[in-house]
Structure 1
Amino acid sequence: MTSAAIYGACVLSAHAAQLAEIARAAIPDTIEQRVVACTSCHGDKGLGGPDANAAPRLAGQPADYLMLQLKYFQSGQRKNDAMEYITQPLTPAYAREIAEYFAGQSMTYRPRTSSAPTDDVMRRGEQVVLLGDTSRGVPSCASCHGSRLTGRAPQIPGLTGLSYEYLRAQMVQWRSHSRAADRPYCMSVVANRMSEADVQAAAMWLAGRTPADVITGDASHADEPPLPEWCVLDTAGITP
């Protein structure tokens, strides 16, 4: 190789290194940048992605609930190829940072229904969600997920701001045990006691909630009644 060629190669190598350094410097080391893999599907700040079935709202969900789901995806207890792949390298500290970031985001409520339900369907959905169905041994959704349906710390998610498709799909998975959780497996019990019509009605009513529909109050949920004893999960020491 001639000296000119060697010099040219050195110049190109130095230029490439400089460009790489500039590129690294241009990417801010922030939590927002580090969760791009999440927000690319789940939407800006985790408010819900365009594929509402596959990418639900993360914003405002309890941090321990999000940590638990990362743990389930990492172990394969909860099935999703993309999530299983993404969670594999997560350390407990990193997973906690991600969970707390999304838990700290303000949630938004917008109708997430894909069709216009009848008044009868909406009335039945409201009844199931707020009162349950004692004839089938179905407790109200509000008795566990909170009177505001925004979730209860540490591990119970909010049901508002989620799409009809996502809510219904989760009930189907709970019924078939394709969505797993540590015991008590209370959602499987509830889902299997509900009729298919009630699953659809409850999901439709929940997906139609807007800000004006959400009851406001103490964000700590200190005024909520105790959870049913048969449906309390010990989440001490949650790690993915």
Structure 2
Amino acid sequence: MLAFGAVQAQTADEDLRERLAACAACHGERGDGVAGSTYYPHLAGKPAGYLVEQLQAFRDGRRHYWQMVWLTQYMDDAYIAEIAAYYAAQPPHTQAADIGAPALPAAVRERAEQLVRHGDPQTGLPACAACHGAMLTGLEPAVPALVGLPQDYIVSQIGSWRDGTRRSKAPDCMAKIAAKLTPADIRLVAQYLSHQSPGAHDRPAAAGSLLPPLACGDLPYAQVTP
């Protein structure tokens, strides 16, 4: 009986991977990226709640990348949850997106680390780490990891929040954050994050282990600090 159950589980896993072949073309078979890709994000190990929200956003018109809009247009919530659970359970991507790229100049690294770790008190910009965790590996149930994402992808997504072509559930905290970042600082932060390598066992921080400083529609427990 145990062996039969294991075969059933393996068959179900293989069936899902076959249905996710379109996803694998850009994101890798297990969501850990495609060699040589300089744009598409890795999905493996990201919080399931975050992945659900993004797939629903493409389906429901809050995000506008035509390939994803086309793929998600007929997905129901149950199938979206199944996809999200599969990728969330995979081992996280463990290689910097820009490995082998020239080392960051000291001034770039210093400014980027200031923004990522401490934010900018003069403009009221919170640190990336305040929401995405000290290791920048995300926060359950709905905040993604940032380390190891491609530079071009980070730049494009923050830019999309700035111009309103990417939206989250209201209140949209990322739109507020993006509006406080200059184009130059967006590029610095993206360069820095794309050079970071997550550890093999790094996972999103547990829900409730930190309190994000902005009210976010995707994070009902987040609060605005005084």
TM-score (norm 2): 0.83
Q: Which residue of 1 aligns with 2:144?
A: 157
- Deviations 1:165-209 (Å, cap 9, x if unpaired)? 101111111110111111111111111111222111111111101
Tell whether the 8 Å contact from 1:52 to 1:162 is kept in structure 2 after alignment. no
The separation in 2 between residues aligned to 1:179 and 1:229, in whole angstroms, is 18
Question: Which residue among 96, 99, 118 is the counterpart of 2:81?
Answer: 96
Tell whether the 8 Å contact from 2:141 to 2:207 is kept in structure 1 after alignment. no
Deviation at 1:219, TM superposition (A): 5.5
1:40-59 equivalent positions in 2, closer than 5 A: 40-49=25-34, 50-53=36-39, 55-59=40-44
1:107-146 equivalent positions in 2, closer than 5 A: 107-113=92-98, 115-116=101-102, 117-146=104-133
Q: Which residue of 2 aligns with 1:227?
A: 212
- Deviations 1:103-161 (Å, cap 9, x if unpaired)? 11111232223853322111211111011111111100000011111111111111112
Alpha-carbon distance change, 80 to 218 in structure 1, aligned in 2, over 3 angstroms: closer
Unaligned runs of 5+ in 2: 1-12, 221-226
For the pair shown, the structure with the greater C-alpha radius of gyration is 1
Q: Which residue of 1 aligns with 2:9?
A: none
Q: Percent identity?
A: 35
Q: Which residue of 2 aligns with 1:11?
A: none
Structure with the higher fraction of residues in helix conformation: 1
Residue 181 (str. 1) matches residue 160 (str. 2):
no
Alpha-carbon distance change, 217 to 97 in structure 1, aligned in 2, over 3 angstroms: closer
The separation in 1 between residues aligned to 2:14 and 2:218, in whole angstroms, is 35
Unaligned runs of 5+ in 1: 1-27, 236-240
Q: Please say which of residues 149-158 and 108-117 is displaced more in the overlay.
A: 108-117
RMSD: 2.4
Segments of 4+ in structure 1 off by > 6 A?
A: none
SS in 2 for 1:135: coil
Q: Please say which of residues 169-178 and 221-230 is displaced more in the overlay.
A: 221-230
Q: Which residue of 2 aligns with 1:23?
A: none
Q: Which residue of 1 aligns with 2:196?
A: 209
SS in 1 for 2:174: helix
